[in-house]
């Protein structure tokens, strides 16, 4: 039985522009043949067990020639495999998808075309340039500027007089040729031009000018490829509706050290503000080495006057274990519930429990002023990580109380690309490092050399979610630059935003 080939457009770079159909096919493929221009975030969506073949297809640097790519698709589909040919942009917009489809059809194999958002449209849109506009352009012309020789097959006399908007794709290296040909054939030297580098990514950069001066402007900067060239009066709109590159954190690289399964909200908030988020999850959440202490507390919940939760992870683990033992939130009836931090409180509310006590600071000892000075006769359960601090428990016992520790989870060092992190540190390419717990601080700095720690401290803004995390940062030679006003990722994001605004003002 033969398989099937899917020619799938991955879009221009921003993973948010990937179509739902493309994401579905990537997740169910047996083999993915992937272009170099597909973004790392989209490439990371390929499941771990799926075979991936990198076929290149970057300008003048192909890992596999086109005929070998065609043969690969046919051969693998004949084995009965679901083959996804993942291409940057759209398969049929200068993507050679038509050639691949012809070969697959000639082999008598089933195939499907999944369009992608072309950078020809998305790039200008992210630069605030509408490719059509009633006042400026009623037509759009797409041109490949890839060929290195002047005999590109482009009808320059017609193109120069066509009007509307012209988008040159893969033509950055030929910018001088494009400028010369258009002006030689009658286009005004004052015609607006934009060059958009790495369109739709957090590294996007747009340079505007005219045919008369765009060469000189580009020569003054170092623009990486891929880059689009937009010619037309619509370029004037860039100064008015440049929405993407004017975001408050645009151009800033922010490291998120939180466990990957918890980092999504912080990552989303930072990216919505324009930051390039680099995920280096220094910790991961794991079950405790033994459930004995948590099970003992759950079995005796009716004997406790107060239950204290110190983190959202503790809340999650507690209720999952509670359910496994055939119980639910009703088992907490009669207990006074305390939550350390707004996020922990929100986690409890999501389980139908409104905590009775929530201190202002994200610090377990901040509960102490809210608790009785005489704890005699009061039995308390503390639900926390194995690595938690002992000050709260010790103080409650000093006050005469009975305190039982229930270990609901533990944190351990997570594997991540330390070499990539080291490269960024050496290049002074990190603007902000965010920390959401003392353990993220410990596991981040402990993997670095003394020189690397010094570079991070000197170059990057260190952002803390609360006092305990701030204290851990101080242990590595620098006070935190930022401490969130409350223990939530929203507050941490807002603090980063305020600090960057203050620095750049």
CATH number of 54's domain = 3.40.1010.10
Q: Which of 128, 120, 126 is nearest to 239 (CA)?
A: 128
213-219 average pLDDT score: 94
pLDDT tops 50 at residue 60: no
Report the mean per-residue pLDDT for the chain: 91
Last residue of one domain, picked from the residues 411, 438, 456: 411
The end-to-end CA distance of the chain, in Å, is: 64
Residues 275 and 294 in one domain: no
pLDDT tops 50 at residue 466: yes
Catalytic residue selected from 4, 14, 30, 35: 35
Last residue of one domain, picked from the residues 117, 146, 164: 117
The contacts of residue 340 (CB under 8 Å, 6+ apart) are 308, 309, 310, 311, 358, 359, 362, 363, 364, 366, 367, 487
pLDDT tops 80 at residue 57: no
Is the Cβ–Cβ distance between 220 and 147 less than 8 Å? Answer: no
* CATH number for position 402: 3.40.50.10090
Residues 406 and 468 in one domain: no
Residues 361 and 278 in one domain: no
How many structural domains are present in the chain? Answer: 4
Residues 351 and 271 in one domain: no
**248 located within any domain:** no
Structural domain containing residue 485 = 253-282+414-504
The contacts of residue 483 (CB under 8 Å, 6+ apart) are 463, 464, 465, 466, 467, 469, 470, 495
Residues 236 and 348 in one domain: no
Residues 261 and 405 in one domain: no
Is the Cβ–Cβ distance between 270 and 254 less than 8 Å? Answer: yes
Q: Is residue 447 annotated as part of the catalytic site, yes or no? A: no
Residues 420 and 481 in one domain: yes
Q: What's the pTM? A: 0.79
CA distances from 213 to 145, 174, 177 (A): 19, 15, 14
Residues 211 and 257 in one domain: no
Whether omega for the bond prior to residue 226 falls within 30 degrees of 0, making it cis, is yes
The contacts of residue 498 (CB under 8 Å, 6+ apart) are 482
Phi, psi angles (nearest 5°) of residue 410: -140, 160
Q: What is the band of 379 on the pLDDT scale with cuts at 50, 70, 90?
A: very high
Residues 201 and 268 in one domain: no
439-443 average pLDDT score: 91
Tens-place pLDDT, residues 100-117: 999 999 999 999 999 999
Residues 235 and 303 in one domain: no
329-348 average pLDDT score: 92
Q: Both tokens of residue 127?
A: 């630069």
**247 located within any domain:** no
pLDDT tops 50 at residue 241: yes
Q: Both tokens of residue 478?
A: 């620098």
Last residue of one domain, picked from the residues 117, 145, 163: 117
Residues 403 and 290 in one domain: yes
Q: What is the band of 225 on the pLDDT scale with cuts at 50, 70, 90?
A: confident
pLDDT tops 70 at residue 33: yes
Distance CA 132, CA 136 (A): 7
Beta bridge mates, 56:
35
Q: Is residue 328 annotated as part of the catalytic site, yes or no? A: no
Q: CA 234: distance to chain centroid?
A: 31
Task: Check residue 56 and report its DSSP letter.
Answer: E
Neighbours of 211 (CB within 10 A): 19
Catalytic residue selected from 14, 57, 431, 481: 57
Q: Both tokens of residue 426?
A: 């050496």
Distance CA 396, CA 406 (A): 15
């Amino acid at each position: 039985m033969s398989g099937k080939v899917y020619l799938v457009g991955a879009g221009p770079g921003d993973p948010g522009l990937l179509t739902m159909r493309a994401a579905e096919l990537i997740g169910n493929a047996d083999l993915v043949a992937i272009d170099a221009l597909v973004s790392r975030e989209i490439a990371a969506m390929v499941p771990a067990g799926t075979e991936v073949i990198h076929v290149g297809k970057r300008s003048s640097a192909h890992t596999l020639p086109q005929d070998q790519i065609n043969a690969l698709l046919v051969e693998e589909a004949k084995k009965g495999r679901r083959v996804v040919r993942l291409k940057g942009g759209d398969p049929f917009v200068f993507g050679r998808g038509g050639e691949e489809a012809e070969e697959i059809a000639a082999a008598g194999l089933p195939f499907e075309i999944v369009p992608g958002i072309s950078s020809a449209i998305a790039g200008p849109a992210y630069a605030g340039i509408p490719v059509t506009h009633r006042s400026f352009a009623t037509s759009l012309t797409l041109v490949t500027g890839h060929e290195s020789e002047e005999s590109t097959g482009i009808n320059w006399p017609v193109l120069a007089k066509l009007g509307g908007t012209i988008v040159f794709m893969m033509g950055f290296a030929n910018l001088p040729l494009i400028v010369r040909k258009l002006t030689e054939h009658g286009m005004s030297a004052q015609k607006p031009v934009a060059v958009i580098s790495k369109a739709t990514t957090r590294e996007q950069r747009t340079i505007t000018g005219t045919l008369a001066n765009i060469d000189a402007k580009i020569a003054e900067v170092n623009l990486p490829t891929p880059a689009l060239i937009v010619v037309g009066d619509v370029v004037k709109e860039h100064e008015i509706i440049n929405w993407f590159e004017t975001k408050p954190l645009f151009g800033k690289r922010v490291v998120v050290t939180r466990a990957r399964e918890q980092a999504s909200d912080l990552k989303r908030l930072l990216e919505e503000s324009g930051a390039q988020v680099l995920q280096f999850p220094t910790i991961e959440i794991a079950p405790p080495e033994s459930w004995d202490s948590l099970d003992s507390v759950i079995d005796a919940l009716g004997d406790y006057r107060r239950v204290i939760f110190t983190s959202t992870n503790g809340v999650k683990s507690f209720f999952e274990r509670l359910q496994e033992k055939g119980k639910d939130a009703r088992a907490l009836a009669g207990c006074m519930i305390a939550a350390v931090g707004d996020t922990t409180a929100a986690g409890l509310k999501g389980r139908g429990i409104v905590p009775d006590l929530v201190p202002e600071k994200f610090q377990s000892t901040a509960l102490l002023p809210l608790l009785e000075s005489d704890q005699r006769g009061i039995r308390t359960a503390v639900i926390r990580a194995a690595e938690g601090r002992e000050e709260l428990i010790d103080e409650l016992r000093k006050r005469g109380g009975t305190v039982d520790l229930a270990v609901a989870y533990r944190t351990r060092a997570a594997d991540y690309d330390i070499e990539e992190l080291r490269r960024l540190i050496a290049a002074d390419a990190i603007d902000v490092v965010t920390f959401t717990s003392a353990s993220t601080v410990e596991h981040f700095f402990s993997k670095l050399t003394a020189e690397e720690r010094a570079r991070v401290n000197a170059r990057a803004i260190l952002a803390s979610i609360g006092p305990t995390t701030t204290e851990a940062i101080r242990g590595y030679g620098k006070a935190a630059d930022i401490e969130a006003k409350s223990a939530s990722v929203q507050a941490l994001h807002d603090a980063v935003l305020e600090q960057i605004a203050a620095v750049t003002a």
